[in-house]
Amino acid sequence: MHDENVGHATTTGLDNRKMLMWVFLASDCLFFGSLISTYMVMRSQSGVGPFPGDIFDILYTSVSAFVLLMSSLTMVLSLSALQRGDHKNTRIWLLATAFLGAIFLGGQYYEFTVFVAEGLTLSTNIFGTTFFVLTGFHGTHVAIGVMMLLSMYGASVLGKLPQSSSINLELVGLYWHFVDIVWIVIFTIVYLIPS
């Protein structure tokens, strides 16, 4: 959403769009905060299995978490390339970021199918309910992020992502890093801390 008051200096000197993204992320904190709170309140309330300890494969999820974290690095490289006017590397790192995000999503899809095969669905127990909805909404955020990255790639190929509008990529980057940080919190609370 690229509205701006071109030529209108802002009161604080900060770009309007960047401030909008920060305000949105503040709001999204409460979004995930409420979801995570729900998970925390319910975490030991399941009467029937499977329970978290029965089905989590910590090693597998650690690898996909690592993949997602590395995508933050490639995101930074892409933005930095654009700010230098290096469009080739911008596109390479953009694709790399989207690719890593897609690997994470594929990993999550595979994990979900394994869990379902082991008998954990949305309506098996409250663990299944809260787990799938929390991680599913995070996955949706990642998927939207991948779409934005690919849109940026398309824009770059069509020559519509000049160095002068690197702010657009910066905004996508802010969102992308935020989604990564949320995963660190979810991964710690859901997978690493035993209930």
For another protein, the closer of residues 25 and 103 by Cβ is: 25
Spatial separation of the C-alpha atoms in residues 83 and 33, rounded to whole Å: 34
Handedness of CA 102, 34, 122, 190 (dihedral sign): positive
Q: Which of residues 40-79 bind another protein (CB under 8 A)?
A: 41-42, 45-47
| Interaction between residue 164 and another protein (CB under 8 A) | no
Secondary structure (DSSP) of 126-138? HHHHHHHHHHHHH
| Interaction between residue 185 and another protein (CB under 8 A) | no
Spatial separation of the C-alpha atoms in residues 195 and 192, rounded to whole Å: 9
Q: Which of residues 136-155 bind another protein (CB under 8 A)?
A: 137, 151
Spatial separation of the C-alpha atoms in residues 47 and 66, rounded to whole Å: 33
For another protein, the closer of residues 3 and 59 by Cβ is: 3
Spatial separation of the C-alpha atoms in residues 6 and 3, rounded to whole Å: 9
For another protein, the closer of residues 13 and 53 by Cβ is: 13
Q: How far is the CB of 68 from another protein (least distance, A)?
A: 22
Q: Which of residues 94-123 bind another protein (CB under 8 A)?
A: 122-123
Spatial separation of the C-alpha atoms in residues 30 and 37, rounded to whole Å: 10
**Angle CA 158–160–166, to nearest 5:** 135
| Interaction between residue 3 and another protein (CB under 8 A) | yes
- How many residues interact with another protein (rule CB under 8 A)? 43
Q: How far is the CB of 189 from another protein (least distance, A)?
A: 16
DSSP-derived secondary structure letter, 123: T
What residue ranges bind another protein (CB under 8 A)?
Answer: 1-6, 8, 10-12, 14, 16, 19-20, 23-24, 26-28, 30-31, 33-35, 38, 41-42, 45-47, 122-123, 125-126, 128-130, 132-133, 137, 151, 158, 160
